[in-house]
Amino acid sequence: MDLTNKRILITGADGFIGSHLAEFLVTRTKHVRALSYYNSFNSWGWLDSSELKNDIEIISGDIRDPHFCKKLVKDIDVVFNLAALIAIPYSYIAPQSYIATNISGTLNMVQASLEENCELFLQTSTSEVYGTAQYVPIDELHPLQPQSPYSASKIGADQIALSYYNSFELPVTIMRPFNNYGPRQSARAIIPTIITQIASGKKIIELGDLTPTRDFVYVKDTTEAMALIAETEGLGGEVINIGTNNEISIGDLVTLIAELMGVSIEIKQDEQRLRPTNSEVFRLKCDNSKLIEKTNFEPTYGLKKGLIETINWLSEEKNLSKFKTDIYNV
């Protein structure tokens, strides 16, 4: 599919990946409509600071409302559904919120897209649905394991979307990114947590378990991969992993970031940052061969290059000031 003349909708466009995707697509397509979560401050999240915001049609709302979703999708050709609650620790505290947004919200979006005859619906999943790897690298056939209410809600959201492909022939593709990082990511993620504590002058860094491994993919590579998936024909009903086929432990990641920032630090384990034992995902390593085979995707950023860009962005005072490094962010 050539996206040039398509009208694109991105839900969750006020967030980390969504704002980058909106900027990536707005220079390449006819029109981008961006959903920002409604709030009384009229904040558009990260789109507020985007130099391209005036080129984007920004709408405030909530995918939990089916009537709103119907209006949101009107005259849209392609939907990128990124709107979701994503913080794993908060899903232990407020699991119903994750069901309402991630599952019911996705249901509202696919139903609206079906009724408005959208040409393509791209559902954003997460590597967390795989749980701790039973084998590596993890391909798209790996069993799904709900090890947190968050991952359970994302499994449910993916299956709701795929059911609309099987039941109603809505063109649905599941995009399954592994661990994203880059500018604008919140401190509920590990890389901003490490960098912001160091950048604020801390010598003792508070973290959780250092043993899990993750496959980190830079956000600009992710957005390019998402666009390529949308442009590739024949992916209806398919699940596509987005990752690097590399893994690094959290402990080694901390060491690497400290080296890149030129500091010497100590690590203190913070009990509140530990997941329940059976909920921790101990190993994630992506098999991205399907993505490469189907789309000819070639990542631009290795881990060091992406970390340097992230460190530079987070170290700027105007950005660092947005992070409360003395408070654990669930």
Q: Using CA atoms in the order 89, 184, 157, 294, what is the torsion angle rounded to 10 degrees?
A: -130
Angle, helix 303-315 to helix 250-261, in steps of 10 degrees:
60
- How does DSSP assign 104-157, residue by residue? IHHHHHHHHHHHTT-SEEEEE--GGGG-S-SSSSB-TTSPP---SHHHHHHHHH
DSSP-derived 3-state class of residue 226: helix
Cα(93)–Cα(99) distance, rounded to whole angstroms? Answer: 13
Cβ–Cβ under 8 Å, residues 176 and 155:
no
The yes-or-no answer on residue 98 being catalytic is: no
Q: CA 175: distance to chain centroid? A: 10
Nearby residues of 42 by Cβ (< 8 Å), 6 or more positions away: 60
Cβ–Cβ under 8 Å, residues 231 and 1:
yes
Beta strand 172-177 pairing with 120-124:
parallel
The CA-based angle 322-327-328, given to 5 degrees, is 105
The residue annotated as part of the active site, out of 37, 98, 130, 150, is 150
Cα(303)–Cα(256) distance, rounded to whole angstroms? Answer: 10
Considering only the C-alpha atoms of the chain, give the largest distance between any 2 of them, rounded to a whole number of Å. 57
At position 66, the amino acid (one-letter code) is: P
Under DSSP, the state recorded for 15 is S
The encoded tokens of residue 110 equal 């696919």
The encoded tokens of residue 183 equal 């500018």
Catalytic residues: 150
